[in-house]
Structure 1
Amino acid sequence: MELLGAGRTLADKRGTELGGVLIGSGVKPLAPTLFAYGADVVYVYDDPIFAHYRTESYMRALLDCCQKYKPEVLLYGATPTGKDLASAIATDLPTGLTADTTILDIEEEIRHA
């Protein structure tokens, strides 16, 4: 939930939506909590295959989400699972990876008339 607060700040500066992703088994009822913490949209991957964390299955779900919705920024928790998933998906996305970040900032969106 902490990352949603940081994400909200970044999204507001860029003038874009903040999305949250839920991956797991039986996680759909958690979506309202993400909205309550600032998400504008929540993408839910709720399936028994996600009952236990497996890099490959979670990576495919998150990669599918990224390819469909093209986020500007993707934030992960600095947990063993978050670090594993971030490094796994970074090889398939045209982006860099910054680990163990303590301060997040982004330039404001420049709108041309």
Structure 2
Amino acid sequence: MISFQVGEWVSGTSMEDERIRGYIEEIEASIDQATIRVIESDRQEAVGEIVRSRLRQLKKLPVESAQSVGELMDLIDLALATRDKEWFDDLSLRLIHIQQKEQNDTKNIQLGVV
């Protein structure tokens, strides 16, 4: 059996049989269930909501180190909606680094530096 932790990113199926992707907010191992904050779903109304899933219906997602500005902005919105200051601060720093890198890359292209 795969071991999960609060805060891990997962994909799978909710108890209502909807495809979900999100992060674990709570685990109740004794009843094989987790509470997931949904960031993507085949049911649009579930996005941003909390759903329940059986642990055996979940799969861990790899941690992505490089994300686009658009993806980070979506996650920042979610961090604000969930009032998760630590996550918001982390995402904001990552966004600033990506934007600075893009600005430097653009300047280098304009100057002809490769």
Using structure 1 for the length normalisation, give the TM-score: 0.29
The one of the two structures with greater contact order (alpha-carbon pairs below 8 A, sep at least 6) is 1
Structure exhibiting the larger radius of gyration computed from Cα positions: 2
Using structure 2 for the length normalisation, give the TM-score: 0.29
